[in-house]
Amino acid sequence: MGKDLYDQFPLIREMYAKADQILGLPLTKVSFEGSEEQLQQTQFTQPAVFVHSCALLSQIGENGLKPDYVAGHSLGEYSALVCAKVLSYEDALYAVGRRSQLMQKACDENPGTMAAVVGMNEEEIFALCTEASQFGIVQPANFNSKEQVAVSGEFKAVEKAVELAKQKGKKAVLLKVGGAFHSPLMLSAKAELGPELEKLNFQRAQIPVVANVTAKGVTDPEQIKELLVEQITMPVLWSRSLEFMSNQGVANFMEVGPGKVLQGLAKKTIPGANISGVDKLADLQQFLQTQLK
């Protein structure tokens, strides 16, 4: 993940070196040579995705792109904050490192999992979770599109939710994740993250940030800080966030970072919008050539 960018740009090599230093982890080595098992560990997954996204942003920003809004899905909210100049790369990296450690600790203390459910609306998802909650904690975690929602919680309850969804003729599958993110099982991480964020220098956003928790634009640094803490146990309102930006007149959406999942969700949520993505060096070079024309 990101090796082509690392080899091409000295600035990006510096960013990875800073990450190793600030996190006290061999992030560069794990990002490029780590096993799938290592990369699925929250303490590595979150910083690796964050650094990759910020590496791409560093080159895009140098070439003058300034979006009207920024938004990030869960962890992605931190790279969005770097783009909006709310946090420096170093401060955001520290926050991501502590967030990943605290969430890993919560995962170890309160094991759980997540599942994706396709074909249910919001009301049906809440009813599904209520029914499955007889078997333990389970709640909606990510409203990814109008038809795709992730649920999160204790193993038996999530497994029951999958079973019930299938009984209703819907598609449901357990996800390969390290824990029950965006659920009450992360309460200990939420409690400890707040004091960690207080150590950092939050600035007023130069670009409105569409928050996961509210699906609305925010620029106030104190409010952004509070919402980052709430995000740990609250659902990600992603489809509403996309709709909010679309309703504000945004017609061009670009995913910056590894993968194309968010592009797919955007196409389902806001048909007719111009959806693109920058994931690797070839994408970046193509984007920069287009910008320079």
228-269, pLDDT tens digit by residue?
A: 999 999 999 999 999 999 999 999 999 998 888 999 999 999
Q: Which residues are catalytic?
A: 74, 182
Question: Which amino acid, one-letter code, is at 87?
Answer: L
Instruction: List CB contacts of 49: < 8 A, sequence separation 6 or more.
Output: 1, 75, 76, 257, 258
CA distance 210 to 255: 14
Helix axes 221-231, 76-83, angle to 10 degrees: 170
Q: Is the pLDDT of residue 114 over 60?
A: yes
Residues of the chain with CATH 3.30.70.250: 113-174
Q: What is the pLDDT of residue 63?
A: 65
When the pLDDT of each residue in the chain is averaged and rounded to a whole number, the result is 92
pLDDT one-digit tens code per residue, 116-169: 999 999 999 999 999 999 999 999 999 999 889 999 999 999 999 999 999 999
CA distance 68 to 226: 23
Fold of domain 3-108+184-292 = Malonyl-Coenzyme A Acyl Carrier Protein; domain 2 (3.40.366)
Helix axes 122-132, 155-167, angle to 10 degrees: 130
Q: What are phi and psi of 128, to 5 degrees?
A: -60, -45
| Token code pair at residue 143 | 């409203």
Residues of the chain with CATH 3.40.366.10: 3-108+184-292
Q: Which CATH architecture has domain 113-174?
A: 2-Layer Sandwich (3.30)
Please name the helix (run of DSSP H) or strand (run of DSSP E) that holds residue 239, with its range, or none.
Answer: helix 238-247
Contact 104, 42 (CB under 8 A): yes
pTM across the whole model: 0.92
CA distance 71 to 188: 25
